[in-house]
Amino acid sequence: MEMHETEQQHRVFNSFSANALTCIRNDVVLFSGLGFRLDCGEVLQIQGPNGSGKTSLLRILCGLALPDDGAILWNEKNIYDHRQDYFKEMSYIGHVNGIKMELTALENLTIAGALAVTNQSISLPDILEKMGLAEHENTPARKLSSGQRRRLALARLLITDTRLWILDEPLTSLDDYGRQLMRDMITAHAAGNGITVLATHDLVDIQRHKITMINL
């Protein structure tokens, strides 16, 4: 991913932190007093058994859900007070792909691009090619395999130049090639001083970058 290496010098310092987060679902405390601080180029991996609140935590971190207590700061500013600014810098890929089955791969990326602040230096067909979907440009998402749909969802990360990636089980249904592709993308993102938060059961072996672990 050469694109991230050239942009390094243009970037200001970013930080992402959470203070004393508490999440209660159905009268059960999923986590409390959870906090971390991530700086440029760092990766946070969240682990835990099913139902331990990984997805809840990620939804809180990306601003979709409110924590029962605590605050989340992007560049030392509360994300709820600076919602639009935060959304310009953050990409979230949930465990559902957020793609429309009726639309083709390219149409899905086009709408995602319209909704985001797009990165003009890379064209949508190029992104599809990078994700190994070159020959499926005009295939309706309905006809793609689940692994290919996952790749299409992850392709959204390349449309934008967001500094913070929040990924919920990004490796689900990916084959070995796809997994390696995803690891390379996270490595390149970290090398370009981006911050990644991901929930996954697999160990992500990304060399040369600081990985923080949280076990829920």
Partner 1 sequence: MQMFHNSTSTVLIAVLKRDLVIGLRHRSELFNPLVFFFIVVTMFVLALGPYETTLRQVAPAVIWVAALLASTLSLDMMFHSDLDDGSLEQFLLSPHPLIIIVVAKILAHWLLTAAPLIVAALFLGLMVYLPQTAIMPLLLTLLLGTPVLSLVGAVLAALTVGLRGSGILLTLLILPLYIPVLIFSVATVDNAAKGLAITGELYFLGAILVLAATLAPLATTSSLRIRLG
Residues that bind partner 1 in the complex, under the rule CB under 8 A: 3, 6-7, 10, 62-66, 84, 87-88, 90, 92, 94, 96-103, 107, 110-112, 114-121, 161
CB of 113 to partner 1, least distance (A): 8
Nearest CA-CA partner of 152 in 124, 192, 122: 124
Residue ranges in 142-192 assigned as alpha helix (H):
146-159, 176-191
What is the spatial order of strands in the sheet that 195-199 belongs to? 90-93, 164-168, 195-199, 43-47, 211-215
Give the dihedral sign, CA 21/25/27/28.
negative
Residue 160 or 187: the one with the smaller Cβ distance to partner 1 is: 160
Nearest CA-CA partner of 169 in 197, 212, 198: 198
Nearest CA-CA partner of 14 in 162, 158, 163, 117: 163
Residue 103 or 211: the one with the smaller Cβ distance to partner 1 is: 103
Residue 73 or 211: the one with the smaller Cβ distance to partner 1 is: 73
CB of 35 to partner 1, least distance (A): 22
CB of 104 to partner 1, least distance (A): 10
CB of 163 to partner 1, least distance (A): 12
Residue 94 or 132: the one with the smaller Cβ distance to partner 1 is: 94
